[in-house]
Every structure is written in structure tokens, then in C-alpha cells.
Structure 1
Amino acid sequence: MFNPDAQSNFYLSIIHEVSNTVIWSANRNAAISSSGEMNLTVKGLSISDADGNPVWSTPALKSSVYALLLNEVGNLILLDQFNGSLWESFHYPTDTIVIGQELSVGSILASSSGATNFSTGDYKLALSSSDVILQWHGQTYWKLSMDTRAYKNSNYVAEYMAINRTGLQLLGLNGTMVVIQVLLTPSDFQIAQLDPSGKFIVKSFSGSQWNQEFVGPIDGCRIPFFCGRIGLCTGSASTNPTCSSCPSTFHVSSQDNGGCLPNSPYSPPLPCNSTNNGSQLNSSAVSYIKLGNGMDYFSILFSEPVKYGVTLSICQELCSSNCSCLGVFYQNSSGSCYLLEDELGSIISNSNADVNDPLGYIKALAPTDTNNSNNPSAGKRNFPVAALVLLPFTGFSLLAALGFLLHGRRRRAKEKEIKLGSFDSRSSGDMDGFYIPGLPKRFDFEELEVATDNFKTLIGSGGFGAVYKGILRDKTVVAVKKITNVGVQGKKDFCAEIAVIGNVHHANLVKLKGFCAQGRRRLLVYEYMNRGSLDRTLFGSGPVIEWQERLDIALGTARGLAYLHGGCDQKIIHCDVKPENILLQDHFQAKLSDFGLSKLLSPEQSSLFTTMRGTRGYLAPEWLTNSAISEKTDVYSFGMVLLELVSGRKNTLRLQSHNLNDSSSGGGQSSSSSGSGPVYFPLFALEMHEQGRYLELVDLRLEGRVTSEEVEKFVRVALCCVQEEPALRPNMNTVVGMLEGGIPLSQPNFDSLNFLRFIGRRFTEASMIEEGTERNDRVLYQESNSFPTRTTIGSHTCFSYVSSQEVSGPR
């Protein structure tokens, strides 16, 4: 038994003797006095307090305990008579793992409350199938994958985290594949610990001292409770963070551990379980106190807005109607509304943030009329007479509605359990005998024929088939896609893919409402997007898309891709990101379509595809070099779309230089656009980035309604995305952060962008061929969508060109 700092609290602990470091504790939430007892019996280990009351024990075991063993790596093991393991402390970690220990996916580490108080603290380390995540009261504040020191290989699913002499690793495929790795200085004893401060620290013991090898997050202001509740944290990763009192509209509370309270006469919001929380939901009693300009919050970078494209007042209304909501952060640039729920942490003073974006507000309760609140009869006098008449009728109506809803829920639950074999009695031969849970609604083919008026109104077409507008029996407008080129065999394989797609839900992904698998017919029923696809709006002759709308579209698309890559149960690589697959609703909310149809990744399939997919002009170079296809392939395609959002034109359409030398864009020409020759736009964007002449890239229809800084953000993010080396491209979470402004803009690697110069040169050569014949037009079209492939001859690296038309999948 161990009592830290010779206090009166005793814990059953495992201690690394040389460094005197506790690596595990049994009764961390139930310390005992010196009069307590530890017992080892055939049933296991147990601890009781001074009165004999049990406070901790091992779980029920499958056989009797024969021996207790503490092995050389610090694992406490209960053994049976055949030396078989019955229970191990390594399987029940507290706040630390050591060399030889594995932390499985789904497991957590929980910080201690303090250096001498081993009870569970507020910080948690959670392990998912793709990342290591730090959380505070369920709110994420750090991810290992976003750390610049972490090497990432997102093609595999993680199974456990471990630490060895040279590194911290997230491993998959039974430990044979590294998903994430942090290299460490070689040492015989390393530990990874979630510190009571909320930092995840990896350290090694050498000689007689500990050496810190890795810490996350680096920036102390990103620790949720670093400065207490609403305390103001100033600093960065490169400077020591300091707690500079409170925001100007708050004051220090001596009763709140140094936290801050609203200035008089406001009071802090009440928790949901308070008996007085009714007043909090009364919109007349709720106020919002602005935090001030240049403020940030730790969780914004890792959470999705509850709403996009809304006003600040709507955002605050969403918080007012939610008793667990304690404040909001609102982004003017995108109309994104973030709710701060359950617990409030520290506020970050961000000198690099836009003074008006984001805006933070803390919910507070305004003073109420004390005269009425102290008068029990006040409510009676103000109670409407009409309510006395309506209440009995309303109660009856509510009961009837409740009965109807319960009946509908039972019916839907029963329908969900129906086997696919009973879907279609006329053609069910290949559907008998299997069950796939999670499928969306099944439609009969005849039902969709009626809904689309025999497939009368064609609204789009793509690589997987034509899309028709339809109206269901309940008057819901839908888009019905006839699948013609799907690469699955039989209804079972088709339905298995649809079950995965149907369970993917995100604000920036087109919702799959149902499907039809009848006979040889395959149809998908999607929500209807009333503004159509981005290509029609961006490249058409209609009203110009304003810059803010282009930012909203870029952010929505990026968020949707980020969710596909890491937010849903099964990672999905889209493989065909292009304006035709970005659909728009009112307020230019962007949603990705056709996701999951290209290829769903499993661990066995993720390293390489066997067939080429994608669309010319958006294909990443790895398609042509036999390199692994990963989510970074989508990142490349997104970068190409981002450039098209800047220019308002296709990257691979010819653009004469006089179109780029307009007075509204600042004039001037690049080396690639001298004279009257054609321009390959991605190369032109690279050259303008090198020269800092961003306004020359902007869609002329915007007529100066955009700043150079706004265009620079798009161009730098796009160039980072289209780098030739996939490992240098950011992941989509980072792209979202850069577009939102929460992550500093990266500088693209010019060596990894040199391939654009080869494509641009080939584009120019093909464009200079005399036009007028179908053959020359075809050559121009194919060559302008080629990628260079390297061939090494001696000490020289040569480039050859392969048309993407030759490798694209069926369009």
C-alpha cells in the first residue's frame, strides 16, 4: 500500500522503483486509512476500509486464484493453478501506460485529480480506430493526428496504442501496420501519461532523471481549464501562457477557484438539473454577454456547428432553448453556430484572430422582477383565462398524438427487422437467407416510376447513372438516381454498400433516403437539392456567386470530406470530388453527393485500388504512379475545386492572357501567360502565389468585391492540397481549420509543385497546335489533363505524360 507524500490516504499501487513513479492504482477513487486492509483470496484481490466495508475488488473470475505475480514490466497478474492469466492490471489502466502495455481501441486513460490525490480527474484520453483524443467533460481539445510531430498513415484502422523504446505508436492489422507514430529518443523505460494538468506527456527515465519526449497540446492555452471558468489565457505554443484575469465584461470570483463571473447585475446560468432552470429557458430572462474581440475557445476547432448559415440571433435562440447550453461562438464569415454545453472552460485571447470572427457570448440570467417572484398570487392574476378552457382539450390532443407516435415507432422498428429476402417475392431468389441491419427505406420500382412520372425530368447525370426529379406520395421532393455502372455483383453486395452509406449522416453530405433493389434494377433515392450542382452555378451564365458564398461552399465541402475520412464508422474515400458532385441548397449550403459509391475501404482494400476512378482534371498523380490511394487523393481533387472557386472557370479550359490582364484584377502577366498564349490555371495560380499577385486570379465577375488576403487563403490552401507528394498534403480536418482561420495557413512545398510546370508546358504545347480539326481538339483535351510520370535513366529523372482519359473509370 502506498501513501503519497506520507499523507493519510493509502492506495494499492504499482511503483517503478528506480524513479519512484506510480504507474497504476487500484482504489484510486476510494483511498483508505492505515487501518484498511488488502486481501488476496481464491476469489481475487479486494480492499476494505477500517470498518471492513469493501471499496475495491477484482471482477468475478472464471476460476480460483492460485498465485499473484508482479512481472518485470509492471503488470500485476492473478494466475490459476496452470499459470493461466485470470486478471491483469495492464487491462485496467488508470492514467499511465508503460513499455509492454497495450491500450485497446475504446479504452481510456483518466487523469488524477492531483499529484497526491489519485481520484479520477476531469481529463480523459480516448482511443478511437484512427486517433488519440484528449477530452474534458466530453469536449475534445487535442488530437494526436493533428500534431506536426506525428507521422500518419491513414490507410489502416488502429487496434491499440503502445509505447516502446523508440516511439509511441497507434497500430493496426494485429500490430503489423503503423497508423500514427511519434519517434522518441531510445530509452529502456518510457511511459505515456495523462497528467493531472490535462497534458498527454511521454517521458523517458535515464540515469536519475526524467526527460520529457513529447507533450500535447504544446499550447497551454488549449488546456480547457488552464485559467479556470471563463478565465482569460494569453500566450501561444512558443510563449509561456499566462492567465490574465477575466474578459472585460467579467470579474474574478473568489468562490470559483479563480474563475470568472458576469459583472453585476447578471448571474451565471443554472445547470440543467437545477430546480430553477425554468427561468433559464425563459427567453426574457436570458441575456448574452459578449466576451470581446479576438477571443477563441478550445473546442471550436474539434466540433461541428449545430447550424450553418444562420444569424447571430438565431444562434442565441438555439442556446436559450437548451438548458445545457452555457454560451455560443458565432462565425460571421460562414454563419456557423457553435454551442458551449455542460461545462465552461477558459477563454483564449487570440491576437491572430479576426476581431469580428468568431464572436463569443456567455449566457447569463438577467435580473427578474423580485416583487412578482415573491408573491405567490402573482402568477394566478396573470394566468390567461383562455388557458383554462384550452388546457383540457390540449391534454387530450397530446395523449392522442403520443399514442400515434408510439404506434408509428413500433411499426418502423418492426419494418427495420424485416429480412431482405421478403422485399420482393417476384425476384427474391438471390436475396433469401441473409440480413443486413441499418438499411434505409426500400422503395418498389413502380413507386419510383410514379414519383418521377416515368423518369420524365432529368436533372443530372454522372459516372454512376442518370438522376431524375421525383415527388413521393407524402409530397417530399427527391432525386432518384438510376445506377448503371456500380461495381458490385448481386443484391447482397449492393445492399451491404447501401447500408453503410445510409448510416452516414452529416450536414454537408446529401442524405440517402432510400433505395430500390428489384430484379436487376438498382436505384437510390436522395434528398433534393434545389440549387443543383456547383458546376452549373459557378460556370453558368446566371448570377455570380459572391465571395462569401464561395467560402461557405468550400467550407461545407471540406467538412463533408473530413467527416467521410475520419468521422463515420467506416472510412470512405470519395474518389470523385468535383463541382458536379457538390450540390447546393438555399443559402449556398454545400453537400457532397455520390460518396460511398466509388469504393468503401476496408483494411484489406485500403492500400491500393484495382480500378481507376475519378474525373479528368481532378485526378491526383498517384493514380498514374501505382502509389497507394488514400484520403489524400480526395484532398488533391478538393484543391483543384478550390482553384476553380477562385477563378470561376474550369482549370483545364483554355484562358487567353488578355483575360488575365484586366484592370480590375491589377494588371500584369506571368511568365506562363505572356503574349497571347493559353494558360493552365493551376500553374498560373502557382506563379501568382510566388509573386504575391493574388487578385489577378479572381473571377472578373466579382468586380473587386474581394480582398487580396481572402484570395491568398484560398490559393495557399489549394496549393497545399495539390502537392504531388500525398504525405505533404494536409488532411481535411486541417484544411477546414485553415479555411476557418483556426489553424495558421501552411506554406506549400514548391518542389512538390514542380509537376504543375510540366503539365502547364504540355498544356501550352497542345494548345498551340493549329485548331479546326476534330483530331486537334481531341489532342488538346486529352493532353491538357495529363500528369507526368517519372522514369529514372542513369542519374537523370525523365518525365512522360499519360492522359487521364486513359485511366479514368467509366463516366
Structure 2
Amino acid sequence: MGSFFFVFFFIISFLNSYPFSVSGASFSEFIYPNFTASHFSFVDNNGAFLFSRNGTFKASIYNPETQETNFYLCVIHVESNTIIWSANRDSPITSSGEMDLTMAGISVTDSDGDFKWSTPQLQATVLALTLTDMGNLVLLDQSNGSLWESFHYPTDTILIGQRLLIGANLSSAVSGSNLSTGDYRFVVTGSDALLQWHQQKYWQLSMDTKAYINLNYVVDYMAINETGLYLFGRNGSVVVILLNLSTTSFRIAKLGISGQFSVSSFSSGKWVQEFVGPIDGCQIPTSCHKMGLCSASSTSNAPECSCPSGFHSASQNISGCLPNNLSFLCQLHSNSSDISYMKLGSGMEYFSLIFSQPEIYGVNYSVCQDLCSGNCACLGIFYENSSGSCYVLENELGSVILSNTVEDDLQGYIKVLVGPTTDSNGGNGDSKSFPTAAIVLLPFTGIFLLAALGFLWWKRWKFNESEERKLGHQNSFDSDDLDDFRIPGLPQKYNYKELELATESFKTQIGAGGFGAVYKGTLPDKTVVAVKKITNPSNQGKKEFCTEIAVIGNIHHVNLVKLRGFCAHGRQRFLVYEYMDRGSLDRPLFGNGPALEWQERFDIALGTARGLAYLHGGCEHKIIHCDVKPENILLHDHFQAKISDFGLSKLLTPEQSSLFTTMRGTRGYLAPEWLTNSAISEKTDVYSFGMVLLELVRGRKNCSIRSNSHTSNEINSGGANNSSSSVIGLFYFPLFALEMHEQGRYLELADPRLEGRVSNKEVEKLVRIALCCVHEEPALRPSMATVVGMLEGGLPLPQPRVESLIFLRFYGRRFTEASMVDEENRRSDDQLMLYQEENGTRSSIVTTGSDTCFSFMSSQQISGPR
């Protein structure tokens, strides 16, 4: 009998391990490693190779809408034939492409072996793949524990039993047959759930009149169940937002290809839509495509599309509108004289304006126009005459809305390029015929001119090369590297021997950061410099490296550290900066020396703001710093602030750049948009600046240890305490600043070391600006140019929007939880020390609890998976 079971087990194992022997035979609930499936091999089941035990869901190599080219590994609701998850949505395969299950996980490859998708590296080997009755595709380990789940990687749909965590998002598909990631995002934040299009918000769940809202808690995740849609806080114990729906046994929440978020239930063989947002079709960014005019239909919910005055239809079916005889900007090399603005008609608004703060306010129209003209990303403006508010439309243009509720003084302008235009036949609009002689002679004239210009260029190049040899400049690179290219604006080139001599073989290290170590050096002319050795430089060639250096070297501002030169030695890269004798801001701000006076702190804040404003809009190439923190703010004589390490991200390998991002996350300056995996903008720097501003106010890190006694030791950066004070928990200063702002108790936020040498009004100014800078929504944050105006006093102080600062409570709670862990570790260590003392076995080194909160706030907790 025993031998029979052994033979039976061997046969089953063999069938599971041999892919061709199971062709066409679908499985229920489980499959095991060394399994291969393709649409072709399971064509009788429409590509389905695995069913859930109750038969509600199936896993399939599937081609949506039966098109012949794009096949995806999908989980499908069987009865409705609805895709609820897809693996390789951005990398489709052909009908003979394969899904392979091995002990290392799942992989998807095309018929030619081209890799398309796989599960991430797992912590253990795979025992089986199962499809649960809830529609979750799960890899199991030897103990039946979960190694990987499709529920943790949602695409455009979530199901009952699935959680959409804070920071996670749903992404729309391009079309019903093309599952590639579209332009719409549904994002869960610490206070709401919202819809975005190219980082522009156009709807949020709390807007719905049927939603129950409790703003006293921070959102942890969103879920749907048999009774409704929920945003839960405190690990599911409290409801932050609730949308009650009718009771049903099966429903899904989905971000559709149209940009609408909907909740639907399946009953009696059909889908019933229970909720949709936004209801108004004109509120969807592309309802009438680019610059189409959307108006509500008098007979249906479908929007009616036309073109604004001065625009014409791009095609017969109104797939967007184009300006008459003009073209849209942005064009990088167009002259400012070529820029003009087309005025939209009255009663028009833009979908994102109700979610946005003005880029600047209290200005006249010409200032608003100049702000857009100097920013290539700006495609249009809306200007409110009564308040002088200037709204900027950036990156992408959607539809405009015809509304009866728009204020009369709100006027839209679209940025266009004035110049020659083409007619429908591709001509230049001139009906006169072109002379035949010109058609014959022009090509020969052009060839002759090109040949002449080429000869002159060659002669000039040879002359310059000869002159450089005479001057000794040819040795700027290594001897084996010919200087066969010229880049305008390139700063001075040093060779490795020069830098080695200047730094005494890199003897004195004065700093280190995400880009590498910094050494002090002295040039032959006695100029003191700081030499930065870039760690793990990118694989770009020297010409590309020099191009980036030329961009950085051409940036000159009193509040930016000057790049004096560079060196490329083999794979090594060095940057030579002016030397800042007072070091970085973190030393005097968080150190044990004399406290910075309030005026010094204010001057540092204003100088830093001016430097960032210049990077964002004053130089030829907009630069986003991405790592604004005290360590990157250097101080010169009289505490003049200068920003360092700007524009260097392209000089790192992708791996090093990713690591650098993680380092920013643990330091507390990471903006919330990293949670949503949104593209980074200059508003990310604004958030980081706001966090630095709070640290300038308090004189210590925003995350620090709080003790019973308010000693100078408590206030330092590390949060170390003297023997007379005891740790009572971790302290998250931005949340405390918000609470004191709500109570108007600003003076309690000031650095105690100032001992009354600062007024309540002075602290209020910086705190209110800082809180506006750290708004959760990037669009609500002011620009750095606006921040400069507020600091200088030319612009009025804004009122922070408390509803966009609720996420600080989430961060504060995380720190509280971390402090509990810290206190438990400290007590355990105290007990260990007492035991060792009583038994005479106390070692010279005793492991203690963490002395900073960053041990508990990992980058994954703050920024989520990257």
C-alpha cells in the first residue's frame, strides 16, 4: 500500500514539473514550481491555467478585447470576464509568450526569450502558487506563509479584502485593449483620497456630499467591503472617511480609462455602478482633450465639446483645439519676443484651480505674465484682477470649462509662439508660387555654404588646438585623453596631480555626503578650495560629464557655492568649489557652541530662499536641488548662506541616486509626494526648505529626543541628555509647531537658548511661512520666489491650510510609536546593566537603545517602496 502512494505521489510531481504534459489542463487553487503556461498552450480555456477554489477568479495569459498582439498575465473575474489585476501591463507578450513558475518566483518572457516581468527577489523558495477565493494571487513558502501577493501591487482595481495603503495608488489603463499605465492616478494620502493627472489634482473623495468625514485621525489605508468604501486610521480601528453603499457580496473599486473613479457591484450577471467621481464630466482633465472647451449638456451627463474663440479643432471629432495661425509653447530655444498670450473668453475656468493656491498674489497682470514667460514649463496663466492672484498652468494642458459660476475678474491666458504657420497642406500660408530658378539654385548654394563653413570651422579648430598646446592646457585631462571637444562655459579643468598636490594626497577631509567626501585643498596661488570626490559616478562619457559641469559652472548667484573647476581622471570625478570657512549650517545650529542669534537665522533663511528661487526660475536651466537640508547650506563670513550640491544628480549612477533618495527619507526632509511616486518638481525643494525653516526656529533637528529637563543638552541635534534628565519620548517638532500655530502660541516654538531675544511676531512670521511650505499638496505650497517676497516683507503672510497639514499627525504618531520601542529597549538595557553590576560581570561596552528617532523611521516607512 505504501509503495502505491509513493508511485502516485511521483506521478503527480512529474506532471507538475513537466510543462508539455499539462498542456490545456487548467488547475484549481494551486500550481507548483517548474510550471510553464502560455496562451497558446491553454487556448482551449482562453489562456486560463489556474482557477480559485470557488471558481470566481482565474489566472490567465489573456488578450483583452480579443486583439491579436498584446497578451498579459492577468487575474480575471470569471462571470463578468473583467480584468482585476495584470502583471506585465507595460510589457505585453505575444500569444506564445510564457509565464514560468520556479522556486525563485514568477517570470514572464516573450516567445524569443525576451524578459518582460517578474516578481521581486523573495526571502525564501517557493512551494506553490495559489489563487484565493478573494482574487489574490499568492506565492507560498514551505510553511504556507505568503512570500508575495498581487494584492500588494494593485494596478487599476481593488477588491473586497484588499487594502490600498497610504502612499499607494491606482493607475488607469490606456484603453480597454492596451493595459499600459495611463495618465490618471488615484492616490491615498494621510487625509483623503484624490485623483491626479500629471500631478494636477482634479477631485478628492471628501468633496462628495454623501461622505462621512472625521478629520481627527490620519488615514492608514483604503478598503471596500460588503457595506461601503472606507478610509481607515489607527490600523483599522477608526474610520476617517466613510461612503455608505448598499449591501452586496461582491464589489470592486476601479480607476477607469476615462479618469473617473468608480465603485461597482456585480449582481444578476451585470455590473451596477454605485458611485463615481467626479460626477461632472467637465471636471475630468481631458474630457475635451487639450484646450477643448467643455460645457455641460442640457440633455445628458455627457460633456459637450467645442473650441474657445481663437482656436480651431485639431480634427473633425474635436480631439483637442489649436490656436489659430499660432502654435503652443513650450519651445526651449524660442526668444521671449516670440512669446504671446491668447486671452480666453469670459466665464472660463480650469479643472485644477479650485485645488490650487496662486503661484503669487498681490501683483499686476504683467508680473504674472513675466513669471510664466521665464518658465518654459508654464503653458498658461489664470489671473484674478481683484486680488492680483496669479495661477500657473504647467507641464500639460487639459480642457477648459465653460461655467456660469466663474467670477468675472478671473481671466485665462494661453502661452503661444508667434511666427510663421503652416496651412493644412503643409505650406506656409502664402498662396504665391515659388520661383523655379530658386528651387534649382538653392540646393547648390546651400551645399557651397556648408562646405565653406566646414572648412572655416576646421581651420579654427586646428588653430585653437595649437594655441592650447602652447599654453599647456592640453594636460588638463590625463595624457591619454585628447581634448577633442569644446563646450562653451566650461570651468577650469584640473588634472589629478594638481588636486593630489593641493590636498596633500587628500589628507584633510572636511565633510561627506550622498555625493562623496570633501577635502580641503590649497591651490598654487594660495586660494583655499574644497575638493569633492564623487562616489560612484555615472557611466556617462567625459563629454556628457563636461556638459553637465558646464551647466553648473554657468550658474552664478551670491547664495550659491561657486564651482571653480573639475577633474576627470579615468573613472574618477572631482569638483573644485570655493571654500566656505564656517562650514555647514548644521554645525552652529545643532552644535554645543554659541547659539545663532535670531537675525543670523533670519538672514540664513532669506539667503537660502533666494538661492533656491534662482535655481528654480532665475537661471537658464531650471534646477531642482532635491536635497535641501542644513548639511547642504554652507556659511561664509558673517553667516552668509550659500547652497551647495545643486545640479549633481545626473553625475551619479542610478543605484547611487536611489540610495541618495533613501538617505533623504531618513533625514526627515522628504516631501510627501515621494509617497505617491509622483514626479518630483521644484515644490519638493519648497517642502524641504520649510522643514529647514522649522529647524532654524527651534535650533535642533525636527525629530529629536525629549527629556524631563529643558537643558542645553536636550536641544542639541543628537538629542543627548545629561545625567540629570531622563528620556520621556521622541519629539516631532513640525507637529508641535502646527499645534502651537492653531493656538497662537508662537514664542513657545523659539530656541530656548535665545532667552527672550526674539519676539512672538518674529517667530510667527517664519512658522507660518514654514507651515505653508510643508503643505501635503505640492500645488498649495508657495513658489520660492513667493517665499522670498514674504520673508522680505513685500508680500503678505499667508494662512497655512490646516487640512493640508493633517499628515503631520501621521508622522508624529509614528515617532510616538518609535519612542515606545525606544523606552522598552532602554529599560531592558538598564535591567541588563543592573544585573551585570550586581554580578560583577558588567562589560565595558553595553548595547543601548537608539539615541535618535531615525533608527525607527526607515525610508520604507516614510517613502514607501521605490
TM-score by length of 2: 0.50
Q: Cα gap change, 1:416/1:568 in structure 2, threshold over 3 Å: closer, same or farther? A: farther
Q: Secondary structure of 2:346's partner?
A: coil
2:332 equivalent in structure 1: 277
Q: Cα gap change, 1:291/1:126 in structure 2, threshold over 3 Å: closer, same or farther? A: same
- Aligned counterpart in structure 2 of residue 298 of structure 1, from 320, 327, 351: 351
1:345 equivalent in structure 2: 398
Say whether 1:591 aligns with 2:798: yes
Is 360-369 or 80-89 further displaced after alignment? 360-369
1:12 equivalent in structure 2: 73
Residues in 1 aligned to 2:150 and 2:640: alpha-carbon distance in whole angstroms: 59
Residues in 1 aligned to 2:170 and 2:707: alpha-carbon distance in whole angstroms: 43
Residues in 2 aligned to 1:412 and 1:238: alpha-carbon distance in whole angstroms: 70
Say whether 1:253 aligns with 2:335: no
In structure 1, give the amino acid aligned to 2:596. Answer: F
- Aligned counterpart in structure 2 of residue 222 of structure 1, from 273, 278, 283: 283
- Aligned counterpart in structure 2 of residue 516 of structure 1, from 748, 751, 754: 751
1:145 equivalent in structure 2: 206
Residues in 2 aligned to 1:407 and 1:236: alpha-carbon distance in whole angstroms: 62
2:412 equivalent in structure 1: 360
Please report how far the alpha carbon of residue 399 of structure 1 lies from its aligned counterpart in structure 2 after TM superposition.
Answer: 8.1
Q: Cα gap change, 1:256/1:176 in structure 2, threshold over 3 Å: closer, same or farther? A: same
1:551 equivalent in structure 2: none
Residues in 1 aligned to 2:809 and 2:252: alpha-carbon distance in whole angstroms: 32
Number of aligned residue pairs: 499
Say whether 1:268 aligns with 2:320: no
Please report how far the alpha carbon of residue 335 of structure 1 lies from its aligned counterpart in structure 2 after TM superposition.
Answer: 0.9
Contact kept, 8 Å, 1:444 with 1:516, in 2: the verdict is: no
2:596 equivalent in structure 1: 443
* Paired residues for 1:660-809 under 5 Å: none
Q: Secondary structure of 2:390's partner?
A: strand
Q: Secondary structure of 2:154's partner?
A: coil
Q: Cα gap change, 1:212/1:594 in structure 2, threshold over 3 Å: closer, same or farther? A: closer
Contact kept, 8 Å, 2:173 with 2:257, in 1: the verdict is: yes
In structure 2, give the amino acid aligned to 1:49. Answer: D
Residues in 1 aligned to 2:63 and 2:801: alpha-carbon distance in whole angstroms: 60
Deviations 1:752-808 (A, max 9, x none): xxxxxxxxxxxxxxxxxxxxxxxxxxxxxxxxxxxxxxxxxxxxxxxxxxxxxxxxx
Unmatched 5+ residue regions in structure 1?
A: 271-275, 379-390, 425-441, 452-471, 533-556, 572-582, 607-811
Q: Secondary structure of 1:318's partner?
A: helix
Residues in 2 aligned to 1:75 and 1:15: alpha-carbon distance in whole angstroms: 10
- Aligned counterpart in structure 1 of residue 710 of structure 2, from 465, 490, 500: 490
Residues in 2 aligned to 1:412 and 1:502: alpha-carbon distance in whole angstroms: 29
Contact kept, 8 Å, 2:173 with 2:181, in 1: the verdict is: yes
Please report how far the alpha carbon of residue 594 of structure 1 lies from its aligned counterpart in structure 2 after TM superposition.
Answer: 14
Please report how far the alpha carbon of residue 562 of structure 1 lies from its aligned counterpart in structure 2 after TM superposition.
Answer: 8.8
1:162 equivalent in structure 2: 223
In structure 1, give the amino acid aligned to 2:340. Answer: S
Contact kept, 8 Å, 2:65 with 2:176, in 1: the verdict is: no
Q: Cα gap change, 1:493/1:212 in structure 2, threshold over 3 Å: closer, same or farther? A: farther
* Paired residues for 1:121-520 under 5 Å: 121-235=182-296, 240-254=301-315, 258-264=319-325, 266-270=326-330, 277-279=332-334, 282-355=335-408, 357-367=409-419, 404=562, 414-416=584-586, 420=590, 422-423=592-593, 443-444=596-597, 490=710, 496=731, 515-518=750-753
Q: Cα gap change, 1:408/1:256 in structure 2, threshold over 3 Å: closer, same or farther? A: farther
Q: Secondary structure of 1:277's partner?
A: coil
Residues in 1 aligned to 2:113 and 2:772: alpha-carbon distance in whole angstroms: 54
Contact kept, 8 Å, 1:46 with 1:58, in 2: the verdict is: yes
Q: Cα gap change, 1:445/1:268 in structure 2, threshold over 3 Å: closer, same or farther? A: closer
Residues in 2 aligned to 1:160 and 1:47: alpha-carbon distance in whole angstroms: 30
Please report how far the alpha carbon of residue 18 of structure 1 lies from its aligned counterpart in structure 2 after TM superposition.
Answer: 2.2
Residues in 1 aligned to 2:101 and 2:774: alpha-carbon distance in whole angstroms: 50
Please report how far the alpha carbon of residue 38 of structure 1 lies from its aligned counterpart in structure 2 after TM superposition.
Answer: 1.0
Q: Secondary structure of 1:315's partner?
A: helix
Residues in 1 aligned to 2:755 and 2:223: alpha-carbon distance in whole angstroms: 49
1:714 equivalent in structure 2: none
Contact kept, 8 Å, 1:168 with 1:183, in 2: the verdict is: yes
1:33 equivalent in structure 2: 94
2:62 equivalent in structure 1: 2
Residues in 2 aligned to 1:193 and 1:159: alpha-carbon distance in whole angstroms: 19
2:860 equivalent in structure 1: none
Deviations 1:40-86 (A, max 9, x none): 11111111112111111111111111100000100000011111111
Q: Cα gap change, 1:601/1:226 in structure 2, threshold over 3 Å: closer, same or farther? A: closer
Please report how far the alpha carbon of residue 284 of structure 1 lies from its aligned counterpart in structure 2 after TM superposition.
Answer: 0.6
Please report how far the alpha carbon of residue 494 of structure 1 lies from its aligned counterpart in structure 2 after TM superposition.
Answer: 7.2
Q: Cα gap change, 1:72/1:295 in structure 2, threshold over 3 Å: closer, same or farther? A: same
Deviations 1:383-412 (A, max 9, x none): xxxxxxxx9999899688675478589778
Q: Cα gap change, 1:503/1:475 in structure 2, threshold over 3 Å: closer, same or farther? A: farther
Please report how far the alpha carbon of residue 283 of structure 1 lies from its aligned counterpart in structure 2 after TM superposition.
Answer: 1.7
Q: Cα gap change, 1:57/1:84 in structure 2, threshold over 3 Å: closer, same or farther? A: same
Contact kept, 8 Å, 2:735 with 2:812, in 1: the verdict is: no
In structure 2, give the amino acid aligned to 1:291. Answer: L
Residues in 2 aligned to 1:236 and 1:123: alpha-carbon distance in whole angstroms: 24
Deviations 1:306-334 (A, max 9, x none): 11111111111111111111111111121
Q: Cα gap change, 1:601/1:113 in structure 2, threshold over 3 Å: closer, same or farther? A: closer
Please report how far the alpha carbon of residue 303 of structure 1 lies from its aligned counterpart in structure 2 after TM superposition.
Answer: 1.6
Deviations 1:669-694 (A, max 9, x none): xxxxxxxxxxxxxxxxxxxxxxxxxx
Deviations 1:724-748 (A, max 9, x none): xxxxxxxxxxxxxxxxxxxxxxxxx
Residues in 1 aligned to 2:160 and 2:801: alpha-carbon distance in whole angstroms: 44
Please report how far the alpha carbon of residue 175 of structure 1 lies from its aligned counterpart in structure 2 after TM superposition.
Answer: 0.6
Residues in 2 aligned to 1:592 and 1:284: alpha-carbon distance in whole angstroms: 37
Residues in 2 aligned to 1:232 and 1:589: alpha-carbon distance in whole angstroms: 35
Please report how far the alpha carbon of residue 234 of structure 1 lies from its aligned counterpart in structure 2 after TM superposition.
Answer: 0.1
Q: Cα gap change, 1:566/1:116 in structure 2, threshold over 3 Å: closer, same or farther? A: same
Contact kept, 8 Å, 2:100 with 2:107, in 1: the verdict is: yes
Deviations 1:417-454 (A, max 9, x none): 67845245xxxxxxxxxxxxxxxxx52489899x9xxx
Q: Secondary structure of 1:248's partner?
A: coil
Q: Secondary structure of 2:585's partner?
A: helix
In structure 1, give the amino acid aligned to 2:117. Answer: W
Q: Secondary structure of 1:591's partner?
A: coil
Residues in 2 aligned to 1:352 and 1:126: alpha-carbon distance in whole angstroms: 28
Residues in 2 aligned to 1:317 and 1:114: alpha-carbon distance in whole angstroms: 39
Contact kept, 8 Å, 1:513 with 1:527, in 2: the verdict is: no
Q: Cα gap change, 1:418/1:101 in structure 2, threshold over 3 Å: closer, same or farther? A: farther
TM-score by length of 1: 0.53
Deviations 1:647-689 (A, max 9, x none): xxxxxxxxxxxxxxxxxxxxxxxxxxxxxxxxxxxxxxxxxxx
Q: Cα gap change, 1:601/1:116 in structure 2, threshold over 3 Å: closer, same or farther? A: closer
Residues in 1 aligned to 2:112 and 2:318: alpha-carbon distance in whole angstroms: 34
Residues in 2 aligned to 1:522 and 1:83: alpha-carbon distance in whole angstroms: 64
Contact kept, 8 Å, 2:328 with 2:415, in 1: the verdict is: yes
Please report how far the alpha carbon of residue 114 of structure 1 lies from its aligned counterpart in structure 2 after TM superposition.
Answer: 1.1
